[in-house]
A and B are shown apart, each in its own frame.
Chain A
Amino acid sequence: MDHSYRRVVIAGHVDHGKSTLVGRLLSDTQQIFPERIEKVKKICDQNGKKFEFAFLLDAFEEEQKEGITIDKTEIPWVYAGKEFLIIDTPGHKEFLKNMISGASTAEAALIMLDAEEGIREQFKRHSYIVGLLGIKNIIVVVNKMDLVNYSEDHYKKLLQKIERIYSDLRIKAAHIVPVSAFYGENLLKRSPQLSWYKGPTLADALVSVFDKKEQQKHDLRFALQDVYKFDEKRIYAGKIESGCLSVGDKLKFLPSGSVSRVRSIESWNTASPVLHAPEGSSTGFTLEDPLFLERGEIAFHENEKAPAVTFQVHASLFWMSSSPLLPRKTYKFKMATQEVECKIENIFNVFNPQTFDEQATKDKESLRLDNGEAGEIIIKFQKNIVCDSFSDFSSTGRFVLLDNHRIVGGGVILSSNTIQVFKESSELTSQERARHYGHQGAVLWLTGLSGAGKSTIAKQLEKKLFHMNAHTLVLDGDNLRKALNRDLGFSDEDRKENIRRTGAVAKLVADSGSIVIAALISPFKSDRDLVRAQMEGTKFIEVFVNCPLEECEKRDTKGLYKKARAGEIKGFTGIDSDYEAPVKPELMIQSDSMNPEQAVDKILHYLLKEKILNSKAQ
């Protein structure tokens, strides 16, 4: 959305210089009355304190009591002809609820970091929350450079640390700017002390992140809020969350599927009839056909990207209630003007901002989110909803959960493309099948680099199981790509879809009582976690086939590494695309020191131990 005010949230650890920075920005651009600065200086003199720019903000608080009112939490600031609104975030105890309320509409974030003190817990916490809120323009302000002698070396070391943490959190900093807020260095003007820094000043960095071309789509999303019947007219009222609409436009409404053209856009107190309604409008229009539509419908242009209609989504969620988020409990889901009852199918990748557990995964058994925690969830709705992924459309991709009339969580939709296996009501139970076949159904998910030995192990394991009279099937990544997944390439998006489909097939077959062996590189942890989260009672065993890259590259059975090194293949895992090793796999096969027979034995041993295979089967 094109905000006339550029909303910037400022966060960071308590003494890392938030107030000093804001005070300095205001006074260096003459946006604070000189009288006020004089007054604060006088107060400082009286109290025997040295004047600091941070006191300018504290002074607001004092003056507030005298009746001069400045909303301390939202401070307007003008620079280079552009208006910014700097949103100050409150103290850390109530951080989550209040910070999120204040910052949820920000489009950019300044995250302060004290160069001398280094990275502290809150830096990570705030960064994480900002990322979760979908604020993509993040500027890290490395403050107090004066205290580290403006050392480039020191800055570079911090830079590395920041980049490592951010890559873990899957967020990116647009700029990492070294400054001294206290001396006003590198805020508006370059500092000779920091001449080694070639990037933009803080102010220019701020301007530039807003000038950047938006990634978001601007296809129409109109959320129907209400239908008014005034003077024989049927007016469809609502908000244009994205895109725009004009008289004569053909609109399609979902989930109803109704289609009609806009006859008129309603207006009041305008000089001439309104023919066009821009993004952000709370508008109202009549249609050529008097459609019966209910609040919650989403309209779009049929020739543009359609939203998804789905009964299940994969989302990130932050939790803000003292009673925990629990699976199977019913919550109210609210997005744009839609309100639907929902249940949480699964919770995974839990992150606790208080402890900041870098591994981010709690025990797989503890399915809950406590106050202040965030995680990924699968939500199942009582009826279909219309939505987009948050990365495409922010306002039809973000939602709140309500419990007992209160907003208890906020989240963003990562994907509406989940496994979505309909459970056919079968007359057979999994126990009956297990008794009949002599073993349980399960999914063995073999992940690892190309050349690590996944396919070899899978095939040998299949043979061994078959000779034990077990029902089994190998789903091999390479083979699947020849048929079921032949439309997919190797972009992150396509890899995700490849894994989703394989996961769905694996689950179906495992539910028929078979032991499915899926062998896929599946390089991203989040994709594997998502498959696991959707197994709904089907046994899922993640097997990490671990072999160092050098060894895989030496083997290079298919000659792919050579091609990748030569640049003939792009996005090859291990070369120019990451492999994220499993954190807590059920099994690890060290395939550089173990031969395939030993690997198969280790897996069989596990299946027996977990009573998936019956010991009699041997």
Chain B
Amino acid sequence: MDLEKDRLFELEQQSIYIIREAYKKFPKLAMLWSMGKDSTVMLWLVRKAFYGKVPFPMVHIDTTFKIPEMIKYRDEKAKEWGLNLIVAKNEKALAAGMNHNVGRLECCTALKTEALKNFLQENPFQAIFVAIRRDEEGTRAKERYFSPRDESFKWDFTEQPPELWDQYNTDFPSDVHVRVHPLLHWSELDIWRYIEKEKIPVLDLYFAKDGTRYRSVGCAPCTKNIESDADTLDKVIAELRITKTGERAGRAQDQADNYAMQKLRVKGYM
């Protein structure tokens, strides 16, 4: 369908524009890469924006509980695509025995939010790219493309700057940390259609084996697979067109509390 191709073109070009704006405006810049489909598409767009180059580091916040296939994929692609890969962990919390049994929200906060916070304190990147999308869940829908955080990385969603047309606010005092969200306007279906169009190699975990597949990937203990026979891109896309459940329904931390994501994100979760 031509209409859909146009939409993908429009999404792609806008994201490239945002990526280039951030690259121009923030000399100290990095990108969060979780090896999931979204951040892999974002990485693909970076390669497109800079004609095959990746001119800033990719950061993986490693909880050490990731599904093993993810780590294998990460190391392979980092080598193949010539990435400057940085792996960051909250060693202190891990040494103290943090895991999901302590509590899902506590575990996410320590091994993801805190890990990221610590990493950014030690490595002064003024801005980081994060591959969140508005349609993922309610609080992300309220985000901006260029979203400032205060010194403790808190997000003030009640007092956000306006964003008009494509005049993004890229002008921040040097002590403000900025989250840049180039995929904010994409939907889950857009991501898959783009993966299909560009033939982007994504994790095998997304495709069904023995009647199940992952719709969203994360830590092994907190990510459930779904029942599905979609073992090809076409089938995944077909499945998404008729699905009635949310993308993150398999992510246990979201369900820990009605407002779990809001609570996590205000503190600095991705």
> Which residues of A are interface residues toward B (Cβ below 8 A)?
2-5, 33, 35, 64-74, 82-83, 97-98, 100-101, 104-105, 225-226, 228, 230, 235, 237, 239, 266-269, 280-282, 284, 295, 320, 332, 334-335, 395, 398-400, 402, 405-407, 410
Contacts of B23 in A (CB 8 A): 226
**For the complex, what is the distance from the CA of A281 to the CA of B51, rounded to whole Å?**
14
- Given A69, A100, A239, which contacts B138 in the complex, CB threshold below 8 Å? A69
Q: Is the CB of B10 within 8 A of A3?
A: yes
| A5 CB to nearest chain B CB (Å) | 6
Shortest Cβ distance from residue B27 to the other chain A in the assembled complex, whole angstroms:
12
Given contacts A101-B163, A268-B52, contact A71 B24 (CB under 8 A): no
Number of residue pairs spanning A and B whose beta carbons lie under 8 angstroms apart: 128
Contacts of A33 in B (CB 8 A): 244
Supposing A67-B255, A235-B51, A269-B48 touch, asked if A226 and B20 sit within 8 A by C-beta, the answer is: yes
Smallest Cβ-Cβ distance to B142: which chain A residue: A73
Instruction: Sample 20 A-B pairs with CB under 8 A, ordered by A number.
Output: A2-B6, A67-B249, A69-B141, A69-B247, A74-B134, A83-B3, A101-B162, A101-B164, A225-B17, A225-B21, A226-B24, A228-B51, A239-B17, A269-B47, A269-B198, A284-B51, A398-B165, A405-B172, A406-B169, A407-B164
Sorted nearest first, the 6 A-B pairs with minimum C-beta distance are A4-B6, A282-B16, A67-B246, A4-B7, A400-B167, A410-B164
- Cβ B161 vs Cβ A35 within 8 A: no
Write out, one digit per residue, whether chain B residues 1-29 have a CB within 8 A of any chain A CB (1) or not (0). 00110110110011011001101100000
Residues of B within 8 Å of A5, CB to CB, are 7, 10
B164 contacts across to A, CB distance below 8 A? 100-101, 104, 398, 400, 407, 410
Known: A237-B20, A400-B167, A405-B172. 14 other contacts (CB 8 A): A4-B3, A4-B10, A33-B244, A64-B137, A67-B249, A67-B255, A68-B244, A83-B7, A225-B17, A226-B23, A239-B13, A282-B16, A402-B171, A410-B167
- Is B114 on the interface with A (CB-CB < 8 A)? no
Chain B contacts for A98, CB-based, 8 A: 162
Contact of B165 among A68, A105, A226 (CB under 8 A): A105
Interface positions of B from 139 to 175, Cβ below 8 Å from A? 141, 161-167, 169, 171-173
* A267 and B51 within 8 A (CB): yes
Which A residues lie within 8 Å of B17 (CB)? Answer: 225, 239, 282
Whose C-beta in chain A lies nearest to the C-beta of B245?
Answer: A68
- A268 with B161: in contact, given A225-B21, A280-B9, A282-B13 (CB under 8 Å)? no
1/0 per residue, CB under 8 A from A, across B95-138: the answer is 00000000000000000000000000000000000000011111
B20 engages A65 (CB within 8 Å): no
User: How far, in angstroms, from A261 to B138 measured CA to CA in the complex?
Assistant: 48
Q: Please indicate the chain A residues that have their CB under 8 angstroms from the CB of B92 in the complex.
A: none
Decide yes or no: A395 and B165 within 8 Å by CB, A4-B3, A68-B244, A72-B141 being known contacts: yes
In the bound complex, residues from chain A placing their C-beta under 8 Å from that of B254 are: 67
Known: A104-B165, A407-B162. A280 touches B20 (CB 8 A): no
Choose among B9, B169, B198 the residue that contacts A407 (Cβ–Cβ < 8 A): B169
A74–B134 Cα distance when bound, in Å, is 10
Of the candidates B20, B47, B166, B172, the one whose C-beta lies within 8 Å of that of A268 is B47
Q: How far is it, in angstroms, between the C-alpha of A407 and the C-alpha of B163 when the chains are bound?
A: 8
> What CA separation (Å) do A318 and B128 show in the bound complex?
31
For residue B265, CB closer than 8 A to chain A, the reply is: no
Q: With both chains docked as a complex, state the minimum distance between the C-beta of B94 and any C-beta of chain A, in angstroms.
A: 29
Q: What chain B residues lie within 8 Å of A83 (beta carbons)?
A: 3, 7
CB < 8 Å: which of B49, B53, B255 contacts A282? B49
Asked, given contacts A68-B246, A69-B135, A69-B136, whether A268 binds B51 with beta carbons under 8 Å apart, the answer is yes
Is there contact, CB below 8 Å, between B162 and A320?
A: yes
Cβ of B50 within 8 Å of any chain A Cβ, yes or no, is yes
B246 CB → nearest A CB, Å:
4
A97 to B161, CA, bound (A): 8
Complex CA distance for A320 and B136, rounded to whole angstroms: 29
Looking at the assembled complex, report how far the CB atom of A399 sits from the nearest CB atom of chain B, in whole angstroms. 7
Give A268 to B43 CA distance when docked, in angstroms.
13
Question: Counting CB contacts under 8 A, is B248 at the interface?
Answer: yes
Interface string of B236-270 (1 = CB under 8 A from A): 00000000111111000011001000000000000
CA distance A282 to B14 in the complex (A): 7
- Provide the bound-state CA to CA distance between A266 and B247, in Å: 36
Complex Cα spacing A595 to B246, Å: 80
Q: How far is the CA of A396 from the CA of B166 in the complex (A)?
A: 11
- CB contacts under 8 Å to A, within B166-225, are 166-167, 169, 171-173, 176, 198
Q: Closest CB-CB distance, A348 to chain B, in whole Å?
A: 23
Q: Of residues B53, B161, B162, which shows the largest number of chain A Cβ atoms within 10 Å of its Cβ?
A: B162
Considering the complex, give the chain B residue whose CB is closest to the CB of A399: B167
Contact A67–B248 (Cβ < 8 Å): yes
- Bound form: Cα–Cα A239–B49 in Å: 12
Q: In the complex, what residue of chain A is closest to B176 when comparing beta carbons?
A: A405
Report Cα–Cα, A186/B134, bound state, in Å.
33
- Distance in Å from the Cβ of A457 to the closest Cβ of chain B? 47
Q: How far is the CA of A334 from the CA of B163 in the complex (A)?
A: 12
Which of A100, A105, A237 sits near B162, CB closer than 8 Å?
A: A100
Minimum Cβ distance to chain B for residue A92 (Å): 16
Residues on the A chain within 8 Å of B48, using CB: 268-269
Q: Known contacts A225-B20, A280-B13, A295-B24; is A65 also within 8 Å of B258 by CB?
A: yes
User: Whole-angstrom distance between the alpha carbons of A235 and B52 in the complex?
Assistant: 13
* Complex CA–CA separation, A538 to B244 (angstroms): 68
- Chain A positions within 8 Å of B6 at CB level: 2, 4
Q: For residue A66, which residues in chain B have a CB less than 8 angstroms away from its CB?
A: 246
The CB with the most chain A CB atoms within 10 A, among B6, B16, B51, is that of B51
Asked if residues A230 and B50 are in contact (CB atoms below 8 Å), the reply is: yes
Question: Within the assembled complex, what's the spacing in Å between the Cα atoms of A543 and B26?
Answer: 55
Digit string of B31-66 for contact with A (CB within 8 Å is 1, else 0)?
000000000000000011111110000000000000
Closest Cβ of chain B to A264, distance in Å, is 11
Q: Which residues of A contact B244 (CB under 8 A)?
A: 33, 35, 68
Do A395 and B166 form a contact, CB below 8 Å, given A69-B246, A266-B51? yes
Task: Quote the shortest CB–CB distance from A241 to chain B (angstroms).
Answer: 9
User: Which listed residue (B24, B165, B172, B176) contacts A225, Cβ 8 A?
Assistant: B24
A320 to B160, CA, bound (A): 12
State the CA gap A281–B20 with chains docked (Å). Answer: 13
Q: Which of A281, A399, A407 is B161 in contact with, Cβ under 8 Å?
A: A407
Q: What's the least CB distance linking A347 to chain B, in Å?
A: 20
State in angstroms the CA–CA spacing of A269 and B50 once bound together. 12
Q: How far is the CB of A131 from chain B (nearest CB, A)?
A: 16
Which residues of chain A have C-beta atoms less than 8 A from B258's C-beta? 65
A108 to chain B, nearest CB (A): 16
Give bound CA distance, A410 to B135, whole Å.
Answer: 27
CB nearest to B169 among chain A residues: A407
- Neighbouring B residues of A67 by C-beta, 8 Å: 137, 245-246, 248-249, 254-255
Neighbouring B residues of A395 by C-beta, 8 Å: 165-166
Give bound CA distance, A406 to B171, whole Å: 7
Q: Residue among B3, B166, B248, B249 with the most chain A CB within 10 A?
A: B166
A406 to B138, CA, bound (A): 25
How far, in angstroms, from A104 to B165 measured CA to CA in the complex?
Answer: 5
Task: For residue A235, give the distance in angstroms from its CB to the closest CB of chain B.
Answer: 7
Contact A230 B16 (CB under 8 A): no
Residues of B with C-beta under 8 A to A402: 169, 171
